[in-house]
Amino acid sequence: MKTQTEVELDHAYLSLGLGVDAFVRSLTVNRGRPVCFLLGAGASLTSGMPSAERCIWDWKRDIFVSNNPTLRETVGELSLEGTRKRIQSWLDRQGHYPPAGSENEYSYFAETCYPSRTDRKSFFHAYVKKAVPHIGYRLIPLLVQAGLLRTIWTTNFDGLASRACSAADVVCVEIGMDSAIRTLRPPIEGELRVVSMHGDYRYDSLKNTVGELAEQDENFRTELSIELKDCDLVVLGYSGRDESIMSILRKVYSSPGETRLFWCGFGAEPPNEVSRLIAATRNNGREAFYVPTGGFDDTITRLSLSFLDAKHLGNAKEIIGSLSASQAPTKLFASPPIEPTTLFKSNAYPITCPSELFEAKLEFPADVRRGQWLQEKLSSIHACGVATRDGAFLYGNPRELQAALRHYLIGQIVRHAVSETDIGRDHRIRSLVRKGFLLSIKRHLSTHGTTARAWEKGSYESRKQNGKLYHIHHALRAEINVIAGRTLAVLMPEVVVYDSAGNLADLDTAKILQNQVYGYQHNNIFDRDLRHWVDRLVNIEIPGFDGGIFRIKKAPWYAGISEIGKRPLDENARRFVKQSGLVVNDMPLLFSSRSSNTEVKDIHPIRGLVTNRPWDFSLTSNGLAPQTDLAVICPAPDANVFSRFLYQLNERTTPPQTEQDYLLPYPGFTAAFGLPLVIPIPGDSGWQSINDNVEGDRLAAAKALAQRLCRALDNIRASTRPGAVTLIFVPSRWESLKVVQDPIESFNLHDYVKAYAARAGLSTQFLRAETVQSPQPCRVRWWLALALYAKALRTPWRLDCIDDETAYVGIGYSIDQGADNGSHILLGCSHLYSSRGEGLQFRLGRLENSIIKGRNPFMSEDDARRTGETIRQLFFDAKMKLPSRVVVHKRTRFTEEEQRGLCQGLDGVKNVELIEINIDESLRYLASKKTDRGMEPDTFPVPRGTTIILNGHSALVWVHGSALNIQNPKFRYYQGKRRIPAPLYIKRYIGQSDVMQVASEILGLSKMNWNHFDFYSQMPATLTSANSIAQVGSYLNAFGSAAYDYRLLI
């Protein structure tokens, strides 16, 4: 809980804050008013210099590792909360190190880790040598030339500001401790004074310790005090931890004056010392503001684009634009030159389409959904259309179209010729072709149908559901794709359900019955259902519109797949190959050996744990993390049932026969993970019983229940188990309170409590009554045990990475329904994964200028640049260097604005890969086997890892597919054992890596979701985590852009 002082500071902050846009306007409207900057370590972070906090943790780790050399690898990821907790726990046990967060941490650990001043200088030399001025520093010379800035006071000793000025031919007067007398030299217009208050690396002894920092040069103190009487002060990247500087500022702003203070911080709230300074300054009749920003680079970029005049503005835009020009031309996807060994048959058939369409300019009525409105207007004639920005593309008879749209037409309907190239380039034309094709099938075959699907009038079977009889009809859905320059009709056999009265069944019943049918639609059944339609459609002319025809060829497209260890296809089979592909090997996982401290590999997560140890087992064996503690929040009536369930986590259980092709027997938590699971009992301080009898309407009751859960979390945090993973039991009677949609407020109980716990650094796991009572105890115990181990900030396994210089980022979005239009999209972004597949940090941020296209949000160029800069900051915080390669995954396309902005923010990264990943809803391939009758569908689906090239920029990757049986490698395993698997559609917009590497990484990341215990997820963890965590975003956004360990939010 917050102290009274902290609460008072929160209230004070409401009047202290100033938006970054208002700050920029303030400096812009006051041209000619002198300004000076005070820069701290945060300004140099994205240029390659460590923040003060990062230095502290580097020194702590160095002390820890020098005393525990065998544990060096386990504390390699300093950005992980679990790593920091282990290091701090060891330091605390030694009894002579200051506690975490102490005011003197920086100077204490600097001097303790490196007692010699020479050693401290050498520590920073490694960073200074590699640091390169990033965008913020590169724009500063333009602000100097434009007359905004005349002096930079800085606690940094990296020389980045002077290096940026030198590169831009701006005179820079550098003042260090050996030349402090230069501060008496009056500023000259067009020059920049840079005063290094803690010394300049090149010339001075650096100030790091308490004693050194206290010895602030008197010339510096005097001149800073004088300058602040004439200049507004803008503070950037400085936390206020240096008392020698804060004392100067307190003294200057303790008396009345005209100059202003703008303290630009990273995050929503200022540190307490800064809040006090701003409040005291205001009490003395002066203007002072805290400005929450997205960091130094973003602030200087915004200021430059607003303040600079035409001449300098062009230079600024050129500098910003040059950041995205450093990427090499994108490399095309291609299969390696290996002979195909098998054929995979697709459901894509070459199609000839009508060679013309019509275009109409329309005046749409206000406040209508254009597509729906157009469909209604055309419903009485044989026609279809797709709405465009100012009209529509149409199929139909021109006279009938004219009559149907006559009141809304602007001018004449225009006829256009259409080529395959046009169909490939324009998704609107593909949509029109699809609609026209299905309507033409409906008319030609006398079926029922819409522009979405066609289905037969008669049923082929009947089934009962909830005591009622329903009738199942063959149906066909179609999509139009263009692959390798050929237009293809992708045919998807489906079913439509009618009730006994001849009406379409309700959606819930239809979904249940469709799933029953699709669940057994394996290769042979899918092929049979597909041929049911193909035999009636191929090699005939299907009349279209206004004399046009559709014609489907009989032979589908086949992919020639290369598999290691198999014989090449013969010439007869090879002539069918239209696409090329290969089966990419699954990426192994790394575990710790049972017999030594070495790493061992296994592609199966469960087998790797059972036959080895978790990857970070050395933390257990060395006593740094000897057990996993649990805490519990549970309504009193459910305590006995829930307690029995939890103690079963220490018992062995065997999977049913149907699951033994993947699932191994659960040996109990201790046997699986090598450490005890400490479970509280009802009545302990770690077992919080709550009263869940809440009153009021659903919204009031849900909020009251959430508050009781949060108070129980407070009690656990204050108890003897502050680091325990808290299990929250969710009985069935809470069902109506889980999600409440109210006209005034939407409330999600899980997300609210999860966000509250994350802000307090508590790991939580919600457990529903249905899970506790599951008829699959082996699966549930494996899943829960793994989740508890991971949420205890442990690492069960890592990826056997290709290199250590790659970072993976997932971008996901959520919508804050309560926000104003234009700022209601939360970017669930910057979930950074290391090259080993570990989720490092997660940061939320609001898109300021989101662009909605269709139903999807996209980033503006500025938003994308800020996102790229956030990724830089997160990676620097984790590794203190730029990766050579950053792979960004997103579920929507990367617009040109997003491509430019991300590359600008990631300037200096040699290889930026922007990859769109989605489940392909239509394309399916059937694995084949050779028989006496030729190539026939295999009984098992396409192998996991199959990758088929679509074109130079896109491919299909089967994350979901058949894999090796865990019991017998001669057999195969298909997760879920249901309908044939859908591939992932991947499209690369920028990047250099070959398709095998891209596919291999997606396969590996699909096994890094520690919140379930399947062999894999269908999507890589980058996207599953970014999208799911983004849903908690509305409850975290108000607390600023702090980074979180993602395990606190899953």
pLDDT of res. 221: 80
Residue 569 makes CB contacts below 8 A (sequence gap 6+) with 339, 340, 341, 342, 343, 560, 577
| Model confidence pLDDT, tens digit, residues 118-166 | 898 888 888 888 888 999 999 999 999 999 998 999 988 889 999 999 9
Residue given tokens 């007067």 in the structure block: 173
Query: Considering only 682-691, 789-798, 841-850, which range has the smallest mean pLDDT?
Result: 841-850
Pick from 294-298, 963-967, 975-979 the range whose average pLDDT is largest. Answer: 294-298
Amino acid identity, residue 509? T
Residue ranges of domains in the chain, CATH in brackets: 4-49+133-322 (3.40.50.1220), 53-126 (no CATH), 348-552 (no CATH), 590-790 (3.40.50.2300), 804-917+1022-1048 (3.30.420)
Mean pLDDT, residues 890-899:
93
DSSP string, 314-336: HHHHHHHHHGGGGSPPPPPP---
Statement: residue 553 has pLDDT above 80:
yes
Q: With pLDDT > 70 as the criterion, what percentage of the chain qualifies?
A: 90
356 or 184: which leads in pLDDT: 356
Q: How many CA atoms lie within 13 A of 923 on its CB side?
A: 24
Give the highest mean pLDDT range of 203-212, 624-633, 850-859: 624-633
More confident residue, 947 or 820: 947
Q: Is the pLDDT of residue 170 over 60?
A: yes
Highest averaged pLDDT of the listed ranges 104-113, 567-576, 708-717, 900-909: 708-717
Residue 831 has what pLDDT? Answer: 60
Which of 82 and 472 is assigned the larger pLDDT? 472
d(CA 243, CA 262): 19
| Arithmetic mean of pLDDT over the chain | 87
Measured CA to CA in angstroms, residue 397 lies from 45, 66, 369, 379, 394 at distances of: 64, 82, 24, 13, 9
* pLDDT tens-digit map of 579-636: 999 999 988 999 999 987 789 999 889 899 999 999 999 999 888 889 999 999 999 9
Report the chain's terminal Cα–Cα distance, integer Å.
23
Average pLDDT over residues 884-893: 91
Confidence class for position 820, pLDDT limits 50, 70, 90? low
Q: How many Å apart are CA 944 and CA 974, to the nearest integer?
A: 9
What does pTM read for this prediction? 0.84
What's the pLDDT at 376? Answer: 94
Reported as a single tens digit per residue, the pLDDT across 324-340 is 666 778 889 988 888 99
Assess whether pLDDT exceeds 80 at residue 793: yes
Q: pLDDT (tens digit, 9 = 90+) per residue, 246-263?
A: 989 999 999 889 999 999
Quick one: average pLDDT of 925-946?
Answer: 82
- Residue 949: its pLDDT value, please? 95
* Of 214-223, 733-742, 865-874, minimum mean pLDDT range: 214-223
Q: What percent of the chain has pLDDT over 90?
A: 54
Alpha-carbon distance values, 963 to 519, 585, 661, 793, 966 (Å): 19, 11, 10, 30, 9
**Top-confidence residue, 494 or 818:** 494
pLDDT in tens, 797-811: 998 876 678 888 888
Cα separation of 392 and 360, whole Å? 5
708 contacts: CB under 8 Å, gap ≥ 6: 690, 691, 692, 694
Residue 898, both tokens: 């997003």
Name the DSSP class of 386: E
Mapping DSSP onto H, E and C, the string for 557-619 reads CEEEEECCCCCCCCHHHHCCEEEEEEECCCCCEEEECCCCCCEEEECCHHHHHHHCECCCHHH
pLDDT bracket for residue 815 (50, 70, 90): low
Q: Tell me which residue has tokens 């679990």.
A: 82
Distance CA 1018, CA 1002 (A): 10
Per residue in 10-52, pLDDT (tens digit) is: 444 445 688 899 999 999 999 988 899 999 988 998 888 888 8
- Quick: pLDDT tens for 987-1037: 999 999 999 999 999 999 898 888 877 788 889 988 887 776 667 766 776
Mean pLDDT, range 406-434, rounded to an integer: 94
pLDDT greater than 90 at residue 881: no
Classify strands 856-858 and 845-846 as parallel, antiparallel or unpaired: unpaired
